[in-house]
Structure 1
Amino acid sequence: MLKQFIPVVALLALSAVTASAVQAKGRDDFNKPIQINAESDWFDVANKIAVFENNVVIQQGTLQIRADHLEVKRRDDQSDVFTATGTPAVYQQQLDDGSPISAEANSISYDQAKQILTLSGNVKVSQNNSVVQGSEIIYNFATQQMTANRGESDSDRVTTIFMPKKKSDNNNEPTNR
């Protein structure tokens, strides 16, 4: 019976990330194996659901997601929806140029068929010198477009911070002539 579960889990985990591999930065990561560690997991084969709970760590190359809970649902069209939740759930990856990107949110969801990553609840995305914060950030891998939305309250706002490029120390040194 256990042998029946193993292929289902492998397919669910592997297919989540490979669809976006061509579009995403850090694309070498998507050719590496996916490892999911958790304190417990369970599978509902009839309903095509895999659940990983407590101290969940998803690792694929330099890509890492830490969450309290991960749920993977397989649709009839064989595409998957991955939803990681936490307080917060945290995403980190090293991009092709070597720079890091990180994000945190209450929920990180990836819809494989639509190639859409949705971060919801207390979202913060940091890359290089920029930070974007909001209630929801949606990234479309196919179009490479990002949308940030405020919360439901009129006082909620989307905040984007662009930091000035750091000057090298050589520019501040006096010249001896």
Structure 2
Amino acid sequence: MLRPLLIALAVLAAPASAQNITFGGMKADVSAPVEVASDNLTVNQTDGSALFEGNVVIGQGEMRLSADQVTVQYAEGGQNRIQSLTATGNVTLVSGPDAAEAQRAVYDVEGGNVVLTGDVLLSQGQNVLSGDKVTVDLATGAAQVNGRVRSVLQPGAN
């Protein structure tokens, strides 16, 4: 996979403890419907959740999130409104030219934020950024990276 090469390149860059970035393509229409596809679905009426397993793909506008497993928490008072999604295992988030990989992602649908944790790797064109935790505001594309931040920025790239 491309990940070991990108991580090796990222190690060469100067580390920082936290970095704010604009991840321009990592935007989503937070008012668009959320579509979920998977191999299996288990619904828990008691706690208002649904567990999607196997080849899970979630789409909202131009954004795509894929993972091994995703738990959907519905808002109180109605299972038609999604409150949050928690994705685990081989998590990939793609929007336009931007992409992110992580071990876990929590998407606060109502707030329009995604928090990625665990060996997070972001790429925007040839630029690469890694860290322990990345928070992306999908309405603005602004992101904050925390933890052992490493970056590889190509000269002349935006």
Report the TM-score when normalising by structure 1.
Answer: 0.62
- Give the CA deviation at 1:165: 2.4
Q: Which residue of 2 aligns with 1:44?
A: 44
Paired residue secondary structure (1:158): strand
Change in 2 beyond 3 A, CA 1:73/1:90: same
Residue number among 83, 101, 105 corresponding to 1:80 in the alignment: 83
The 1:91/1:158 distance shift into structure 2, 3 A limit, reads same
After the TM superposition, list the runs of 4 or more consecutive aligned residues in structure 1 that deviate by more than 6 angstroms: none
The answer to whether the 8 A contact 1:139-1:145 is kept is yes
Tell me by how many angstroms 1:146 deviates.
Answer: 2.1
- Structure ranking higher in strand proportion: 2
Q: In angstroms, what is the RMSD of aligned CA positions?
A: 2.6
CA shift at 1:158, angstroms? 0.7
More helix by share: 1
Could you tell me how far 1:104 is from its partner in structure 2?
0.5
Aligned residues: 129
1:104 to 98, 101, 106: 101
Cα deviation for residue 52 of structure 1 reads 0.2
Identify the residue that residue 155 of structure 2 maps to in structure 1: 164
**Match of 1:163, as an amino acid?**
Q
Give unmatched runs, 5+ long, in structure 1: 1-23, 95-99, 151-156, 167-177
Say whether the 8 Å CA contact 1:104–1:124 is kept in structure 2.
Answer: yes
Equivalent residue for 2:53? Answer: 53
Q: Deviations over 1:27-51 (max 9, x none)?
A: 4x964x5432211111112311011
Any gaps of 5 or more consecutive residues in structure 2?
1-25
CA distance in structure 1 between the partners assigned to 2:64 and 2:47 by the alignment? 27
Q: Percent same amino acid at aligned positions?
A: 29
1:63 pairs with 2:54: no
What TM-score do the two structures reach when normalised by structure 2? Answer: 0.68
2: CA distance, partners of 1:148 / 1:134: 6
AA matched with 2:113: I
- Cα distance in 2 for partners of 1:142, 1:25 equals 6
For 1:1-177, what aligned pairs fall within 5 Å after superposition? Answer: 25=27, 27=29, 31=32, 34-76=34-76, 80-86=83-89, 88-94=90-96, 100-141=97-138, 145-150=142-147, 157-165=148-156
Structure of larger gyration radius? 1
Between 1 and 2, higher relative CO (CA 8 Å, sep ≥ 6) is seen in: 2
Counterpart for residue 20 of structure 2: none
Distance change (3 Å), C-alpha of 1:146 and 1:93: closer
